[in-house]
Amino acid sequence: MELNRREWIRTTALAGGFTLLNGFTTIKPLTKEEKLKFNPRKLSNPIRLSSNENPYGPSQRVRNAVKKAFDDGCRYPYGYADELAEMLAAKHGVSKDSIIITGGSTEGLKIAGITFTTDGGEIIAAKPTFLAMMQYAEMWGANINWVPVDKNMGYDLQEIEKRITNKTKMVFLCNPNNPTSTLLPADALVDFCTSVSKKTIVFSDEAYYEYIDDPNYPSMVELVKKGENIVVSKTFSKVYGMAGMRIGYLIAKPELAQIIKRNVVAMSNVYAIEGAKEALKDEDFFKFSLEKTKEAKQLIYATLDHLELPYVKSSTNFIFFKSGKNINTLGKQMLDKGVMIGRAFPPFYDWCRISTGTTEEVVAFNKAIISVYS
């Protein structure tokens, strides 16, 4: 039987039970032990569900490693980064010379963009997508060739390939894409990257790769191993919950990596590096983060279904849904109710990106958006 609005609000607000509606299973609140181990952030005002952050990180193991690193705070990070690079090389099955440690994956995107477009070359990118590379490259004289996403909010790979010319220095892929949360079909992606990397450099932003449900979904690191002209970016900001510590990395064949390394500005710091080393070992937190993200998405899906608001099935830690309202209007309405949502992503001004948060934060979001649409 369908719930009326008052019953819906009351049910989603239940303290302790956190019942998922419409046939989903019940989410149990965190135990005292889990709260100590995984450090869920406390409710804030406003609740920030705008930046795709992991609300449970950094893990306690990472925090302990950072504390121990304070004695090394007087040291430059280069030697410590070498050890992390070795760990990452082993994780991905590449040589250490293929790893570039950066101050968050955003620095990696920016330096890769300017490395290959300093002479005014062109980058082909989808619209909308994550803009860090393109905005920075434009400041240094690059031209951006924008290709609108298709009707399913995914990359139009055929159109992108058609637009490649001798002016194209790089093709940018964000997969899964931010903000649309869409995932390219595996076979199409591999075929595209194999073909296009023979014409120009392909940059594959895999910030959300860990959230992909298919355990066999290919990372483009596999093509890096084959010597293709592909650069892959990874981050500790998302599933590892270390966004505020600014550490990420690029993976490319050694010849490309050597060129890119010349433009690294910030790299990272001793504390983030030591935290990242521990994060790679903390399997409990990794699995916990993925589990809680899935639970949060199901809670949000249930509410959007109730409100009959269309959404894209997400392969990330956020959901892109059609709000039917101008995002600036909806943003203000939600902020008035204590919840901060995503910014505008032109040309989809009547769509909204909402990040997954803790269960309490998602319940608050559900209450707020139901109230807005009542």
What domains are defined for the chain?
Answer: 5-59+284-373 (3.90.1150.10), 62-281 (3.40.640.10)
Between helices 132-139 and 104-117, what is the axis angle to 10°? 40
Q: What is the structure's pLDDT at 41?
A: 79
Task: Find the mean pLDDT for residues 153-166.
Answer: 97
What is the per-residue burial (b if ≥16 Cβ within 10 Å, else e) of 31-50?
A: eeebeebbbbbeeeebbbbb
Question: Over the stretch 8-66, which tens digit does the pLDDT of each residue have?
Answer: 444 444 333 344 444 344 566 777 677 767 777 788 899 999 999 999 999 999 999 99
Question: Over the stretch 51-108, which tens digit does the pLDDT of each residue have?
Answer: 999 999 999 999 999 999 999 999 999 889 999 999 999 999 999 999 999 999 999 9
Q: What is the structure's pLDDT at 272?
A: 98
Q: What is the structure's pLDDT at 119?
A: 81
Task: Find the mean pLDDT for residues 344-363.
Answer: 96
243 has a pLDDT exceeding 80: yes
Task: Find the mean pLDDT for residues 345-358.
Answer: 97
Q: Which residues contact 373 (CB under 8 A, 6 or more apart)?
A: 307, 309
Q: What is the structure's pLDDT at 26?
A: 53
Task: Find the mean pLDDT for residues 246-256.
Answer: 97
- Which pair of tokens denotes residue 119? 């002479």
How many angstroms separate the first and last alpha carbons of the chain? Answer: 20
Query: For the ranges 84-93, 110-119, 346-355, which has the lowest average pLDDT?
Result: 110-119
Task: Find the mean pLDDT for residues 351-359.
Answer: 97
Amino acid at 356: T
Q: Are residues 205 and 105 in contact, defined by beta-carbon separation less than 8 angstroms?
A: yes
Q: What is the structure's pLDDT at 40?
A: 76
Question: Over the stretch 176-221, which tens digit does the pLDDT of each residue have?
Answer: 999 999 999 999 999 999 999 999 999 999 999 999 999 999 999 9
- φ/ψ (deg, to 5) at 198: -85, -10
Q: What is the structure's pLDDT at 4?
A: 46
Question: Over the stretch 286-335, which tens digit does the pLDDT of each residue have?
Answer: 999 999 999 999 999 999 999 999 999 999 999 999 999 999 999 999 99
Token pair 């080393």 is found at: 277
State pTM to two decimals.
0.91
Specify the long-range contacts of residues 132-140, CB closer than 8 Å, at least 24 apart: 132/106, 133/109, 133/172, 133/203, 133/205, 134/172, 136/109, 136/110, 137/110, 137/113, 140/113, 140/114
